[in-house]
């Protein structure tokens, strides 16, 4: 546990008592604060009471009297589409609002930090797509190289559940826009921006607000080194703002095309990763045969992880060896079976159109299972991106409406996963791939994308 420091003897209210909320309450108590807890659900309140925490309804009169801060869970809106009433009340009372990420950065460098011979470092990864794979890949590279590390944030453990880092350790964090948007302290040593595409637009008031939330990771504390994907305009803008000019070694640009200038660049093209510095090639890696990183989108993830590892001082050869042993993450281009010459790939994490488009480019002949709860931002990115698709099989409560976006693409409205898998398997030919890449959220039929991916795997298992 990382004890939260700076609130000794003070009252701090915690709103939202899921995984991160209860973790925050425990870390506040470990640091000497009194945690006052609340959740709109009975289950969350009961869990907090069972651990001895005091429940305080933030909407009661004088609830914020003497409260030093309100710590809210990432999923609770604080601005758009409208602030949660408890957060609005805290702001009206002049009580600072923060989240567990802010508390983590505020507390991490205190305590025994000065006694480390090699101070621990933090690598923070954000972006629309690929941040989970990139974060896990960085951790895998470090572990393979024998460097102690911990992985947390939007993937795996909550940040305050981490153990205090040991000498020379690296903490790798995956951070969503919900987490970076509100954190009052953001001071990673290395910050990574993978890419940007429309997502969570209702929560951020549009694309500008969404990008602004991501940009805070680079603007609030100023990392020692930044890894920026520059294939999109927002990435190029961010890289330009962070650089003091051509050749600034604090910036590493990642792209799918050759870049001008004499900077530090990592480029992936036609399955090859190339590192150049000051106009000269420093390393080259063939990514095409790496089973855990299929497709151009995963090659970009590999480039971002490679750049972060190089910024940490690892050699190209050590990184290359680790790339070849990376097995990938569940629900992200996860090859789960091959039956009668047909591959079955679970990319349930492709919850937006851009992520699905990247998955569709990774395989030559695809039976595509898609559909679900559509997100803001539209389906325009699908235009011209379905050339590898033999046929689509549409799931979701509004499957017929989703199918309208497929225009002339051969498709079948299936409704549920069992029907979609059965129909795709019946029609698939050897050499083809049955790909779950929904291009939509899962909440119309499932609790989360993991449950959707597990259902896909269950239905595929029945085929055997």
Where residue 226 falls (left for φ over 0; alpha for ψ -120 to 50; beta otherwise) is: beta
Question: CB of 318 within 8 A of CB of 445?
Answer: no
Residue 25 near residue 53 (C-beta atoms within 8 A)? yes
Q: What angle do CA 245, 180, 452 make, to 5 degrees?
A: 120
Q: Binding site annotation covers 133?
A: yes
Q: Is 130 annotated as a binding residue?
A: yes
The rounded distance, in Å, linking the Cα atoms of 426 and 391 is: 12
CA 209 to chain CA mean position, Å: 17
For 56, the token pair is: 């305080």
CA distance linking residue 390 with residue 367, whole number of Å: 6
Q: Which residues of 103-139 are buried (b: 16+ CB within 10 A; e: fewer)?
A: bbbbbbeeeeeeeeeeebbbbbbbbbbbbbbbbbbbb
Place of tokens 């281009």: 333
DSSP 226-275: EEEE-SSHHHHHHHHHH-SSTT-TTEEEEESS---SSSEEEEEETTEEEE
CB atoms within 10 A of CB 96: 14
Residue 129 annotated as binding site: yes
Query: Would the annotation count 20 as a binding residue?
Result: no
Tokens for 131, please give them: 């941040």
> Is position 313 annotated in a ligand binding site?
no
Nearest 5°: the CA angle 72, 198, 230 is: 105
Cα(368)–Cα(386) distance, integer angstroms: 9
Do the annotations mark residue 60 as ligand-binding?
no
Please tell me the distance from the alpha carbon of residue 17 to that of residue 71, in angstroms, as a whole number.
11
Determine if residue 243 is labeled as part of a ligand binding site.
Answer: no
- Listed in sequence order, the residues at least 6 apart from 229 whose beta carbon sits closer than 8 Å to its beta carbon are 127, 193, 194, 195, 235, 254, 255, 300, 304
Contact 348, 438 (CB under 8 A): yes
Evaluate the CA torsion angle 75, 162, 102, 141 in order and state its sign. Answer: negative
Which residues participate in the annotated binding site?
Answer: 127-133
Binding-site residues for ATP sit at: 127-133
């Amino acid at each position: 546990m990382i004890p939260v420091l700076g609130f000794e003897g003070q009252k701090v209210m915690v709103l939202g008592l899921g995984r991160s909320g209860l973790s925050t309450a425990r870390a506040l108590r470990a640091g000497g604060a009194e945690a006052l807890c609340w959740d709109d659900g009975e289950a969350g309140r009961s869990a907090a009471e069972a651990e001895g925490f005091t429940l305080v309804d933030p909407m009661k009169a004088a609830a914020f009297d003497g409260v030093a801060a309100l710590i809210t869970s990432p999923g609770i809106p604080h601005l758009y589409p409208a602030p949660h009433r408890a957060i609005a009340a805290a702001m009206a009372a002049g009580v600072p609002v923060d989240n567990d990420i802010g508390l983590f950065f505020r507390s991490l460098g205190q305590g025994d930090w000065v006694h480390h011979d090699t101070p621990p470092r933090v690598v923070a990864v954000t972006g629309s797509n690929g941040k989970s794979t990139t974060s896990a890949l960085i951790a895998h590279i470090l572990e393979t190289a024998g460097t102690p590390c911990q992985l947390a944030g939007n993937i795996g453990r909550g940040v305050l559940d981490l153990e205090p880092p040991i000498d020379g350790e690296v903490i790798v964090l995956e951070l969503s826009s919900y987490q970076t948007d509100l954190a009052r302290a953001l001071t990673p040593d290395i910050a990574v921006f993978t890419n940007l595409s429309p997502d969570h637009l209702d929560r951020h008031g549009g694309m500008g607000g969404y990008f602004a939330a991501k940009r805070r990771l680079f603007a609030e504390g100023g990392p020692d080194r930044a890894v920026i994907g520059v294939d999109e305009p927002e990435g190029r803008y961010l890289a330009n703002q962070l650089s003091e000019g051509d050749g600034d070694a604090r910036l590493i640009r990642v792209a799918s095309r050759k870049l001008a200038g004499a900077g530090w660049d990592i480029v992936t093209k036609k399955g090859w990763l190339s590192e150049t510095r000051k106009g000269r090639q420093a390393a080259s890696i063939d990514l095409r045969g790496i089973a855990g990183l299929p497709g151009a989108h995963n090659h970009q993830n590999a480039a971002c992880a490679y750049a972060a590892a190089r910024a940490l001082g690892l050699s190209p050869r050590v990184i290359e060896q680790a790339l070849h042993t990376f097995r990938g993450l569940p629900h992200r281009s996860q090859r789960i079976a091959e039956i009668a010459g047909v591959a079955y790939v679970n990319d349930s994490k492709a919850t937006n159109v851009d992520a699905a488009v990247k998955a569709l480019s990774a395989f030559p002949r695809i039976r595509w299972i898609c559909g679900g709860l559509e997100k803001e931002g539209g389906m325009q990115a699908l235009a011209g991106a379905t050339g590898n698709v033999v046929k689509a099989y549409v799931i979701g409560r509004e499957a017929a409406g989703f199918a309208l976006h497929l225009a002339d693409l051969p498709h079948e409205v299936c409704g549920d996963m069992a029907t979609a898998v059965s129909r795709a398997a019946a029609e698939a030919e050897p050499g083809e791939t049955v790909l779950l890449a929904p291009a939509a959220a899962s909440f119309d039929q499932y609790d989360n994308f993991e449950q959707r991916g597990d259902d896909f795997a269950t239905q595929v298992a029945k085929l055997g």
